[in-house]
């Protein structure tokens, strides 16, 4: 048996499938699905990346590390894609940035594809701009819930938050103590319309979740929400 310390650049075993999405307004979006090897996925996260006009894309580091680790460590499939007009090494999605409006079709296409693919227990995982897409467009989708990383609440209205009230879908938000946009005390006030939200204040963390400690915190909270029996994740991979 060999042991490998799980650090920033580690990529654990998974099956990788490239795919394309077709939106209702005729655009082709590019993405990749990471699946567990030789075992069924327990659940699925569909990732919604940070703001593409500020460098966000499907390979933003937390999302990439989720794909590199969670299929093997927690049997969670990770589906990443570039929203319209966004480019990464996987390729460039057609269209232009829609300021969180026309991206509604991107979210719909991603969830529809995941359902058609037969992926189990679908969650939306949004980071920054991606949290706005999850909150604005996820409430009526066939999902288990949403996990929000560094939600800025710039584009989501109080009315859009209120539609989650009474929902059976879980809402979990990780709020960095030192976030540039929304810190824990203000987050508690802004998210008040969602009475069942789980707000997790992360001491010392910043908006971009830089560093291995921040990465482990995020991935552990994802697992705790979706598959708590696999929490906490190991620091060493044994094979």
- The domain locations on the chain are 15-228
What is the pTM (predicted TM-score) of this model? Answer: 0.98
| 32-41 average pLDDT score | 97
- Is residue 142 within 8 Å of residue 61, measured between CB atoms? no
Q: Report the pLDDT value the prediction gives residue 2, as an integer from 0 to 100.
A: 87
Q: Report the pLDDT value the prediction gives residue 103, as an integer from 0 to 100.
A: 98
**Cα 68 to Cα 47: distance, rounded to the nearest angstrom:** 13
Q: Report the pLDDT value the prediction gives residue 174, as an integer from 0 to 100.
A: 98
**Cα 14 to Cα 37: distance, rounded to the nearest angstrom:** 5
State phi, psi for 231 to the nearest 5 degrees: -95, 135
DSSP-derived letter for residue 180 is S
Q: Report the pLDDT value the prediction gives residue 239, as an integer from 0 to 100.
A: 85
pLDDT above 90: residue 129: yes
Count of positions (residues) in the chain: 239
**Cα 57 to Cα 93: distance, rounded to the nearest angstrom:** 10
| 235-239 average pLDDT score | 93
Sort strands 87-88 and 91-92 into parallel, antiparallel or unpaired: antiparallel
- Is residue 239 within 8 Å of residue 213, measured between CB atoms? no
Mean pLDDT of the chain: 97
pLDDT above 80: residue 1: no
Q: Report the pLDDT value the prediction gives residue 17, as an integer from 0 to 100.
A: 98
Collapsing DSSP to helix, strand or coil, 157 comes out as coil
Collapsing DSSP to helix, strand or coil, 161 comes out as helix
The matching CATH number, chosen from 3.30.2020.30, 3.40.50.300, 1.10.8.60, 3.40.50.1820, for 15-228 is 3.40.50.1820
| 32-47 average pLDDT score | 98
């Amino acid at each position: 048996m060999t042991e490998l310390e799980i650090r920033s650049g580690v990529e654990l075993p998974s099956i990788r499938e490239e795919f394309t999405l077709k939106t209702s307004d005729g655009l082709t979006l590019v993405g990749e699905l990471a699946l567990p090897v030789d075992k069924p996925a327990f659940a699925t996260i569909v990732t919604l990346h940070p703001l593409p006009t500020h460098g966000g894309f499907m390979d933003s580091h937390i999302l990439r590390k989720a794909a590199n680790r969670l299929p093997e460590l927690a049997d969670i499939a990770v589906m990443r894609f570039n929203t319209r007009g966004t480019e990464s090494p996987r390729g460039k999605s057609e269209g232009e940035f829609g300021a969180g409006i026309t991206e509604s079709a991107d979210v719909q296409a991603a969830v529809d594809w995941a359902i058609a693919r037969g992926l189990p227990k679908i969650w939306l995982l949004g980071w920054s701009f991606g949290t706005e897409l999850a909150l604005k467009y996820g409430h009526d989708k066939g999902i288990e819930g949403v996990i929000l990383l560094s939600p800025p609440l710039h584009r989501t209205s109080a009315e859009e938050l209120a539609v989650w009230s009474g929902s059976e879908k879980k809402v979990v938000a990780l709020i960095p103590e030192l976030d540039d946009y929304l810190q824990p005390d203000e987050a508690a006030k802004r998210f008040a319309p969602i009475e069942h939200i789980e707000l997790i204040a992360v001491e010392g963390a910043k908006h971009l979740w830089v560093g291995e400690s921040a990465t482990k915190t995020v991935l552990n909270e994802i697992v705790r929400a979706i598959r708590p029996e696999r929490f906490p994740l190991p620091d060493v991979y044994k094979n």
